[in-house]
Amino acid sequence: MVVGGGGPAIASREDEIANVLAHAIEQSELHQVAERTQELRRERREPGKELKPQDYYAHYTKREELACDLNGAQLAQAAGFSPNGMLTLLESFRALRKGEPETGFCCAV
C-alpha cells in the first residue's frame, strides 16, 4: 500500500486520516496498484530494478481516483468513521491547489 505524505499532513481530523487510508486500501482492492506495478515492470525492462512509491503517483485516472474516493468513504464509514472526512479532505486539497488543474487524490496524498 502506498500512502504519500500529503494526505496525512493535511488531515486535521481522525476521520480524514481514516479516509486517506481507506482510499489507499481501495487502490489495492480495485487492483489499481497491481495493474500499475505490471505497467511499470513492462516499461522498465530492467530486471531487478526496484519500484519506488513515487512511480505510482500521478498515474491513476480521474475515474480510478473517484472510485477509490467513493469506496474509501464507504470503507471508512463501515469502520466507524465519518465519510465526511473524505469530503473535507478533498475540499482542503482543492483550496491548496488555488486554481491549478486537478491531479487526482493519490497525487495529492
19 in any annotated domain = yes
Torsion sign, CA atoms 79, 4, 59, 86: positive
pLDDT at 26 over 70: yes
- Asked whether residue 1 is assigned to any structural domain, the reply reads no
- Domain span at 26: 6-108
Q: How much is the pTM?
A: 0.76
Q: Write down the pLDDT at residue 37.
A: 86
How crowded is the C-beta side of 34, counted as CA atoms within 13 Å? 6
Q: How many domains does the chain have?
A: 1
Say if residue 74's pLDDT is above 90. yes
pLDDT of residue 109: 36
Q: Among 24-28, 39-43, 96-100, name the one with the lowest average pLDDT.
A: 96-100
**Is position 44 within any domain?**
yes
On whether residue 41 sits in a domain, the answer given is yes
- Contact by Cβ (8 Å): 103, 64: no
Q: Is residue 15 part of a domain?
A: yes
Amino acid of residue 92? S
Residue with the bigger pLDDT between 93 and 21: it is 21
In a domain, 18, yes or no: yes
